[in-house]
Structure 1
Amino acid sequence: MSISFHRLIPLIITLLLSACSLFPETRPVNVYMLPESTPVQTQSSSVDWSLRINTPYANQTLDSTRIAVIPDGNQINSYKSARWNDRVPVLLRERLIDTFRSDGRIKTITNDNGLINTDAELISELRAFQSEYIHGKPEVRVQLDTHLVQRNNQQVLASYRFEARQASKDASVASVVQAFGQATDQLSREVVAWAINVRKYNGDKHD
């Protein structure tokens, strides 16, 4: 017995709708920029040397656009449907550059994409850039191992581990992102003060 095409149409529509329901709905992704840094006010005189800031090395987990979170113990996850607008090491490199330039004492600041020959070089490794839950509340932690290197002879002038922590106002991603901005501001200012003092101690000019 043949079945008319018109009778098949409702069955076909039902099958198509059932097939579509098998695939999960894609959630929109919110892309976050690191909040703008607070301008640095300095009264100190400028120094006669230039600095290149390299992109920090980071492991596979941190070298991404994911916003990392440690909800409990040693398990690291990322916030769902939320991303940074660039890779984390690049975000931190640009924050360091902004802070050095805002400070104004070093007149020539460049990154590892530039061809300018500089007197010194900041090499670093990003060890932490995540939100961690402490007593049930999110707290941002940023940790950076740094090395200030004299470029003409590759001498390491000094090495130091910086760490900044900033509690988030609440558990929302937007509040956590604001805490990231405050923590990176604090860390960047400490790096600037350290680098200038190291060069001052070793002598601003090296032949």
Structure 2
Amino acid sequence: MKKSQVRFTRFGGIGIVAIALQACALAAVGTSEAPDIYVLTSPMIEFGQNRPQISTQIVVDAPEAPAALNSNRIVFQPSPNEIRYFSGARWADRVPDMVQVLLVDAMDQGGRFQAVGPRSAGIRSDYLLQVSISRFGVESEGSEMDDVHVRINSKLVRRFSDTVISSRRFESVKESESTRTIDVVSAFDEASSEVLSAIALWAYDEIIAAERTEPAS
């Protein structure tokens, strides 16, 4: 039976886009063959009619991540104290960079904020969204490689006062259909879409609440 665990909110995942679909085995580090490259898709966020567009500009800060996640390697943890990587498969970018691009794109395409961008965009923002990635890998139960675990901690900061107005942890666990790389990456797509959608909706709601008490400007 397919498992799904989501914290704070749930949304359907979006399909995986893969530059190459060849399955690959697990290995500690390294492969002599050119790796297959995979990307994830931005979620289509359902803000709903009760969340109209607001005149708020947001900067999404560069995500923080531990050294094991700060690369383009696909992480596999056979136990809590051991980290391995998929051989012959890579993300198209470093995990923190990939997450930042996906989150900016999803929030921007949702059309509810006046502007959304990374720091490099030079936006004069009202709020800063800081994220820290603590889980972004495949975790084993016994000898089975089946669960994709994504966990991101988020803080929303008012730019002009540097005040943290809210913080929350978002988490999703998805079971892969099989140990084939394409199925594992598809589970990553579902889990990351749920987490990033939840972050965007949470940020919107927290900004609305904050502006009612003390406008950013």
TM range (shorter): 0.7 to 0.9
Q: Which has the higher helix share?
A: 1
State the distance in 1 between where 2:188 and 2:107 align: 18
| Structure showing greater relative contact order (alpha-carbon pairs closer than 8 Å, 6 or more residues apart) | 2
1:193 to 2:201 alignment = yes
Q: Which has the greater radius of gyration? A: 1
1:39 to 2:39 alignment = no
Residue ranges of structure 2 left out of the alignment (5+ in a row): 1-30
- Equivalent residue number for residue 12 of structure 1: none
State the distance in 2 between where 1:30 and 1:65 align: 12
- Asked if the contact 1:53/1:112 (under 8 Å) is kept, the reply is yes
1:106 to 2:116 alignment = no
Deviates more, 1:67-76 or 1:78-87: 67-76
- Equivalent residue number for residue 167 of structure 1: 175
State the distance in 2 between where 1:26 and 1:115 align: 41
Number of aligned positions between the proteins:
182
State the distance in 1 between where 2:63 and 2:83 align: 20
1:183 to 2:191 alignment = yes
| Cα deviation 1:58-109 (Å, max 9, x = unaligned) | 1111000100011234211000111111000011111111221232111200
RMSD: 1.5
Q: Secondary structure at the match of 2:67?
A: coil
Displacement of 1:40 in angstroms is 2.7
Q: How does 1:70-85 map to 2 (within 5 A)?
A: 70-85=77-92
State the distance in 1 between where 2:175 and 2:74 align: 16
| Cα deviation 1:90-130 (Å, max 9, x = unaligned) | 11111111221232111200102121210000012110100
- Equivalent residue number for residue 149 of structure 1: 157
Q: TM-score, normalised by structure 2?
A: 0.79
Residue ranges of structure 1 left out of the alignment (5+ in a row): 1-24
Q: Counterpart of 1:197 in structure 2: which amino acid?
A: D
Q: Secondary structure at the match of 1:101?
A: helix
Q: Counterpart of 2:196 in structure 1: which amino acid?
A: S
The share of aligned pairs that are identical, in percent, is 26
State the distance in 2 between where 1:40 and 1:196 align: 12
| Cα deviation 1:151-204 (Å, max 9, x = unaligned) | 011011111111111111111111111111111100011101111111111116
- Equivalent residue number for residue 30 of structure 1: 36
